[in-house]
Amino acid sequence: MSLQGSSQNGRQTRRRTTATKPPKKKSPMRRFLWIVGILVFLIIAGAGCGFIGATMSDLPEVANVKPAASSQIYDVHGNLITTVHATENRLPVKLSQVPKDLQNAFIATEDNRFYSHHGVDPIGIMRAIWVNIAHDGVAEGGSTITQQLARNAFLTQDRTLKRKIMEAMLAIRIEQYYTKQEILEMYLNQIYFGQGAYGVQAAAHVYFGKNVQDLDLAQSAMLAGLPQSPNYYSPLTNYKAGKARQAVVLGQMVKYDYIDQATADKAKDEDLGLREKSEAAHSDNNASYFIDYVISEIAEKYGDDAVYKDGLKIYTTIDMKAQDAAVQAMHNLPNFYTDDKGLTQPQGALIAINPHNGYIVAMVGGRGDDSFNRAVLAERQPGSAFKPFVYLAAIQDGMTPGTVMDDKKIEFNGWSPKNYEVPIPVK
């Protein structure tokens, strides 16, 4: 009994000792850091709310479409060369007139969750981020069709945080105001396809010379691939890149079960029936090739809509007197024959550059009614153009036209020239 009592007294003593132990005091520094952290959070949250509130107040009404303004291109003397516009080249059509294949091609390529999201697609954004990280670059965008409509119809092409937030908020508002069918119809009539064509109807006329309702699967897939980079993927100026992009679109349609693989393969091999001459070519102007080059460069830097809708004044280095002389020089070349495309042969190209400042003063990209600009798009090795310099060096070294050279492998500090091998395209 005495041992048990002692044990109980010991436990009571420990309880009293524990109970009377003084609490730990909080460090003044720790308390200060907590207060600072809370204040910083509140400041950031307040600033964010204020920024979003200000952004929302700047949102346009979704019922008002931003009007397009013509851009003007000037020569080196400040004289107007041409006016670039899009308003006359937009032909609105009803969604019911747009082939289902063309609708599906756009949805599969640009926004496969179009009918599921409410303007902004978080899943699509995360997928785009993952794909871009995997490809170590921008391989896929996260903007929905509704966001693209918001940007093209109501906003500028500025790549700023405010514009992106406005784009997202405006997309949500558009989804509340319009049905999915109305949004898709506006988008298909708004989007830019290159060659001055806005909307699917104008694009069908420019590229295929037909109405949009008459487009087949192959042509629909080609058009659906253009908005990502209309100048680069245009089959009229870069057929190889256009066909590669078409294959990507068809692959997306297979992926999301709009068509089967056999149908996609058949469409890839189908003749597109492209127009031989682009309606966007400035055939009445001696500077047509230079104008197209300027448009391509401006569009690459500021976006296609900036050229055709934002009313730019573009001042260039071209001298129209030099340009007229260059065009006349190309006309004076002999005409040997006309090929099966109706082009005069031989073809040629000319670029005149001011050696003092590097300005392009004249540019001719070909002869005849051909929109292909050989001056900037025809990538060729210098080839025989270097022969006069080689012969001059040989003569200065004491050689004569009768000098015999041993055709054997030669090295320059470990480097040896090699023949150019044309890569075999993969089907």
List the structure tokens of 393: 């060096």
Strand blocks (E) in 39-169: 71-74, 80-84
The residues pairing with 72 across neighbouring beta strands, listed in sequence order, are 83, 313
Can you list the positions of beta strands (E) in 41-194?
71-74, 80-84
Structure tokens at 409: 């492998």
Residue numbers annotated as active site: 110, 384
Whether residue 343 contacts residue 368, with contact meaning beta carbons closer than 8 Å, is answered with yes
Nearest CA-CA partner of 105 in 231, 205, 191, 211:
191
Contact 200, 189 (CB under 8 A): yes
Residue 385 class from Cβ within 10 Å (0-12 exposed, 13-18 middle, 19+ buried)?
A: exposed
- Stated as kind and residue range, the H or E segment containing 49 is helix 28-57
d(CA 223, CA 217): 10
